[in-house]
Homo-oligomer: A and B are copies of this chain.
Amino acid sequence: MNDVIKLLQSHRSIRKFSDKLIDQETINEIIAAGQAAATSSNVQATTVIQVSNPQTRQKLAEAAGGQKYVESAGAFFVFCADLKRSAQACELQGGAFSQGMTEHFIIATVDVALFAQNCTVAAESLGMGICYIGGLRNNPVDVSEMLNLPENVYPVFGLCIGYPDQDPEVKPRLPLESVLMQETYDADQLEPGIAAYDEHIRAYYRSRTGGKKDSCWSEEMRALVGKESRPHMRGFLQSKGFTMQ
């Protein structure tokens, strides 16, 4: 295993950061690494808003459900799926933007994630830690207003980047054979994979918390997908022009 793969496999989210700042040149290098990721038909649908203002950071931390590290990370970014730029380019050429296509929504969302993951790897290669903040989607209207996001742009997630002030363990994942299938989808593989992982992650939580946390993945999934999740997202996206045609 080479050093890059070791780096990738040693990822864990960091939620406690030191005061050490990150200079803008380094940030630009990280963002340029993000830009270098593949992009569907070269659409480059990612816009990153770097938020440094402490008051805005505080409000964003609240909007994300009280995630204090949004304030304390060395740098904080909101990753936006941006079809406004390509729409404007299209219109400059006399075209008419075909607004609201589901396909364009997928393209833009995937673009943002590929870009952000490159930023993550770049930051981690420099000894920094990161935490994705999906919690911004708790209050997407507030986030959009704070950042002045126009139509055809939506905030996909935030990203904290900074120097770690903690050293958490790497969290175990599902067994490889559960997520890598051969030739066709093998539904029979699901249940044994879930059972094996439930046992593994329960032991991991217990050992990390001295027995206090005693849950497993399927219990977590019951809590996560066994109820409506951010039901406002549909209406919010529609209000931004992502009408899913």
Contact = CB atoms under 8 A, between A and B. Distances in A.
Contacts of A84: 187, 190
A178 interface: yes
A157 B156 CA distance: 19
A174 B90 contact: no
Contact of A33 (B5, B35, B179): B5
Contact of A38 (B11, B29, B47): B11
A114 B101 CA distance: 23
Contacts of A116: 114
A188 to B, nearest CB: 11
Contact of A106 (B13, B101, B109, B174): B109
A66 to B, nearest CB: 16
Contacts of A44: 173-174, 179
A222 B101 contact: no
Given A118-B121, A137-B106, A35 B174 contact: yes
Interface residues of A, number: 121
Interface in A72-125: 80, 83-90, 92-98, 101-104, 106-107, 109-110, 112-114, 116-118, 120-122, 125
A234 interface: yes
A180 B28 CA distance: 8
Given A97-B226, A121-B118, A218-B93, A182 B52 contact: yes
A170 B125 contact: no
Number of copies: 2
Interface in A39-88: 40-44, 46-53, 56, 80, 83-88
A211 interface: no
Given A33-B8, A229-B104, A184 B148 contact: yes
A20 interface: no
Central interface residue in A50, A170, A176, by most chain B CB within 10 Å: A176
A32 interface: yes
Given A85-B178, A117-B113, A35 B229 contact: no
Contacts of A130: 38
Contacts of A168: none
A224 B86 contact: yes
